[in-house]
Amino acid sequence: MTTAQKAQTLTALYDAPEILRVVNVWDVVSAKAIAALPETKALATAGHSIAASFGYSDGAIPRELMLDMVGRIAASVDLPVSADLDDGYGDAGETTRLAIGVGIVGANVEDRLAP
């Protein structure tokens, strides 16, 4: 499935009347394990878990390392993958563009505004 097809699939899943449930994954092994379950329709990445697996605290992993891992996850499965892109690493638009470039078709970006 191409990235464009994955994006269309994710859009259709959001538009469907059923609740879309996604499981957070943090590496290729967890992505493949969850993707193999018949009820899995899409995946999400867990920013904290990816950061922790490399020894970083949540939000402290370098953008290039996060994008490399979410790209590996997206390439390893034939499902749409939405990525946790933390706060956009100082440039949410560019980070999103780069994520699309590695196969990500959905994302959440935290605003990190304090109450």
Residue 59 is assigned to a structural domain of this protein: yes
Question: How many domains does the chain contain in total?
Answer: 1
Q: How far apart are CA 93 and CA 25, in angstroms?
A: 23
| Res 114: pLDDT | 63
Residue 113 is assigned to a structural domain of this protein: no
Give tens-digit pLDDT for 47-102: 999 999 999 998 899 999 999 999 999 999 999 999 999 999 999 999 999 999 99
Mean model confidence pLDDT for the chain? 95
Residue 17 is assigned to a structural domain of this protein: no
Give 112's pLDDT tier (boundaries 50, 70, 90). confident
Give 109's pLDDT tier (boundaries 50, 70, 90). very high
The secondary element (H helix, E strand) that includes residue 15 is helix 3-15
What is the reported pTM? 0.92
Looking up residue 66, the CATH number of its domain turns out to be 3.20.20.60
Domain that holds residue 74: 3-12+22-108
Tell me which of 113 and 25 has the higher pLDDT.
25
Residue 115 is assigned to a structural domain of this protein: no
Whether 3 shows a pLDDT value over 70: the answer reads: yes
| Res 31: pLDDT | 98
Whether 21 shows a pLDDT value over 70: the answer reads: yes
Residue 57 is assigned to a structural domain of this protein: yes
| Res 20: pLDDT | 93
